[in-house]
Amino acid sequence: MNLVSMKALLCKAEEKGTGIAAINVSNIETINAVMEAAERVNYPVILQVAPIQLNIQKISYSEITEIVKILGNKYNIEVALHLDHAETINECIEAIDAGFTSVMYDGSNVSLEENIENSKKVVDYAKDKGVTVEAELGRVAGAESGADDSIKGLMTIPKLASFFVKSTGVHCLAVSIGNAHGHYKYEPKLDFERLEEIRTQAKIPLVLHGGTGIPDTDIQRAIELGIRKINFFTEIDNEFVNGFINSYEKNKNIYMMAAQEAGRQRMLTKAIEKIKLCMKY
Ligand code: 13P
């Protein structure tokens, strides 16, 4: 495995007009599943983990980096290791110091001024280390607030995109265009016109969070319009959990390793599907 900067992967995707799947991982099995998926389709992948995932499992930033490096030895692929949804500058700094090749400062819950100030601080810290910085403008909601009306007020305002990018120097920008995290309660309706305007203003690779439940055709259209990184968590993670549970339901005497492998296989299949979906264009 070649641990590369996310910027390098996004630049290549930009040249070819394609996207790259960014998949959340939690442990050895899920890391192996995603890296094997990338190798099987011979396409780079972004492995990502959020502070909340690490905290719940009591795994440190340097431990996850080392695990990824060790497991990566057996795969012939390009991987970026990304910190997803860090809400503090300190979390970004910890991840950068631990060897992550990219971080997301998520300032969607603070004022625009604070979002700009903090995103810029992270960019300044990351600069010397060659680490890529993603920020969010607007707010990607949880899928529980997935009705059109509640999502609309949180959407990225295209006119602010150019100002935000210039003021912060971020390398890629997460947008809110009707996407939401988790399983959608309502059919997601992406605002492609808004996406086009944001892209014209921002002029940098854009990121689509909340990949779970967005129809394939909409993901492909979003890639055509400038989305370069597509985040998938819930749907792929659920494959692992369901694979594990099903194998246990079939055989209550099962050893954990066999149930874990059943989960890993299900996750592998879904990860291949999503990586391929992003590389179509
Ligand atoms: P989903 O859980 O909806 O796939 O979203 C993942 C995500 O955006 C992680 O940042």
Q: Indicate the Cα dihedral angle 261, 266, 269, 274, nearest 10°.
A: -120
The residue range of the domain holding 219 is: 2-233
Q: Is 269 marked within a binding site?
A: no
In a domain, 29, yes or no: yes
Annotated catalytic sites, by residue? 84
User: Three-state DSSP class for 179?
Assistant: coil
178 among annotated binding-site residues: no
Q: Which atom of ligand 1 is nearest to the CA of 235?
A: 4
- Which neighbouring-strand residues pair with 227? 206
Total residue length of the chain: 281
Which residue type, as a one-letter code, is found at position 108? S
Q: What is the pLDDT of residues 94-151, one digit of tens each?
A: 999 999 999 999 999 999 999 999 999 999 999 999 999 999 999 998 865 545 556 6
Q: For a ligand 1 pocket test, name from 54, 181, 235, 238 the mutation site with the most ligand atoms within 8 angstroms of its C-beta.
A: 181
Is residue 281 in some structural domain?
no
pLDDT of residue 185: 87
Residue 279: inside a domain, yes or no?
A: no
Is 24 domain-assigned? yes
- pLDDT tens digits for 46-89? 999 999 999 999 999 999 999 999 999 999 999 999 999 999 99
Q: Judge whether 276 lies within some domain.
A: no
SS3 151: helix
70 is a domain residue:
yes
Nearest to 200 by CA among 175, 226, 235, 168: 226
Using most ligand atoms within 8 A of CB, pick from 212, 273, 278 the residue to mutate for ligand 1.
212
Q: Is 187 annotated as a binding residue?
A: no
Closest atom of ligand 1 to 50 CA is 10
pLDDT at 186: 85
Distance 182 CA to ligand 1 centre (A): 6
In a domain? residue 244: no
- Identify the sign of the CA torsion 171, 173, 137, 95: negative
Burial classification of residue 117, based on how many CB atoms lie within 10 Å of its CB (0-12 exposed, 13-18 middle, 19 or more buried): middle
Long-range contacts of 15-19 (CB under 8 A, 24+ apart): 17/223, 17/224, 17/281, 18/223, 18/228, 18/278, 18/279, 18/280, 18/281, 19/219, 19/222, 19/223, 19/227, 19/228, 19/229, 19/230, 19/278, 19/279, 19/281
Q: Which helix (H) or strand (E) holds 157?
A: none
Instruction: Give residue-wise pLDDT tens across range 205-223.
Output: 999 999 999 999 999 999 9
**Is 267 part of a structural domain of the chain?**
no
Q: What confidence score (pLDDT) does residue 27 get?
A: 96
Residue 181 CA, ligand 1 centroid: distance in Å = 5
Asked whether residue 153 carries a pLDDT value surpassing 90, the answer given is no
- How far is CA 253 from each of CA 57, 68, 244, rounded to the nearest angstrom? 26, 31, 13
Q: Based on the structure, what is the number of domains in the chain?
A: 1
Q: Who lines ligand 1 at CB under 6 A?
A: 24, 84-85, 181-182, 209-212, 231-235
CB 175 within 8 A of CB 208: yes
In this prediction, residue 141 carries a pLDDT of: 85
CA distance 122 to 43: 29
The predicted-structure confidence for 174-205, as pLDDT tens digits, reads as follows: 999 999 999 998 889 999 999 999 999 999 99
210 appears as a binding residue in the annotation? yes
Q: Write the CATH number for 19.
A: 3.20.20.70
Report CA-CA distances (Å) from 150 to 39, 73, 213, 266. 40, 45, 18, 34
> Where are the alpha helices (H) located in the chain, listed in sequence order?
6-16, 28-41, 51-57, 61-72, 89-98, 112-127, 148-152, 158-168, 192-202, 216-224, 234-250, 256-279
Amino acid 42: pLDDT: 97
Looking at beta carbons, which pairs linking 13-18 to residues 24 or more positions away fall under 8 Å?
13/205, 13/228, 13/229, 14/205, 14/228, 17/223, 17/224, 17/281, 18/223, 18/228, 18/278, 18/279, 18/280, 18/281
**pLDDT per residue as tens digits for the range 216-242:** 999 999 999 999 999 999 999 999 999
Sequence-distant (6+) residues with CB within 8 A of 114 are: 107
